[in-house]
Amino acid sequence: MPDIYTQPWYEAVKDTINQEVTKLKDIPDGKWVLAVEIVADGVSPYVGGGADGAANLTATGADERHFLIEISDGRCNWYKEVEGDYGDVELSYRFRGPATVFDEIAAGITDPIDAALKGAVKVRGDMRLLMRQAKHVKVLLEAYSKAVDTSWPKGKPPYA
């Protein structure tokens, strides 16, 4: 069982997406690069040190963690954590929110669509495409939020 926010966990999410997407009809063409930005909120122990404050910032000193996911013709090519900004990478979407919300989504406690609807996760990018490819988007979200057995070495949400 991979630890949350580790390369094995990203690989497991990627594999799940690629398995599930084969069940879909009308898989969308084209390449999307998604950025996920998880911001320290003083609660999650996985970003910014949680309740212990800024003692455990990421390597860049930022109190947020950034991830990039490339989807090509419906399949996930790669999912990785990156330091700092994205350089020349042209983003299709950016999802940004507090660490606890993302932790709870990954733990299957918080529904990602609810989080977006309530503004807890901010979404930037061509929303029309997200709506037009709603079935595919749902597969991605379910893979992220429910499908991978995850280990939580610093504690599992909901946090006290």
Binding range to other proteins, per CB under 8 A, among 10-18, 54-62, 91-99, 147-155: 91-99
The reply on whether position 93 binds other proteins by CB under 8 A is yes
Which residues between 29 and 48 bind other proteins (CB under 8 A)?
35
* CB-based contacts of 65, cutoff 8 Å, min separation 6: 5, 37, 38, 46, 47, 58, 81, 99
92, 126 contact by CB (below 8 A): yes
- Closest by alpha carbon to 140, among 61, 32, 51? 32
Per-residue string for binding with other proteins, 102-131, x by CB under 8 A? ---------x-xx-xxxxx-xxxxxxx-xx
Asked if 89 touches other proteins (CB under 8 A), the answer is: no
User: What are the φ and ψ backbone dihedral angles of 156, each rounded to 5 degrees?
Assistant: -110, 140
| Cα 62 to Cα 106: distance, rounded to the nearest angstrom | 22
Task: Specify the residue, 4 or 17, whose C-beta has the smaller distance to other proteins.
Answer: 17
- Using rule CB under 8 A, residue 146 touches other proteins: no
* In the complex, least distance from residue 24 CB atom to other proteins, rounded to whole angstroms: 12
SS3 category, 78: strand
Q: Kindly tell me which of 107 and 130 has the beta carbon lying closer to other proteins.
A: 130
Q: Which residue's entry shows tokens 């063409």?
A: 29
Considering the complex, state which of residue 133 and residue 150 has its C-beta at the smaller distance from other proteins: 133
Min dist. Cβ of residue 137 to other proteins (A)? 8
Residue 120 to residues 3, 84, 131: CA-CA distances in angstroms? Answer: 24, 22, 19
The size of the interface with other proteins (CB under 8 A), counted in residues, is: 26
Give the binding site for other proteins (CB under 8 A): 35, 91-94, 111, 113-114, 116-120, 122-128, 130-132, 134-135, 138
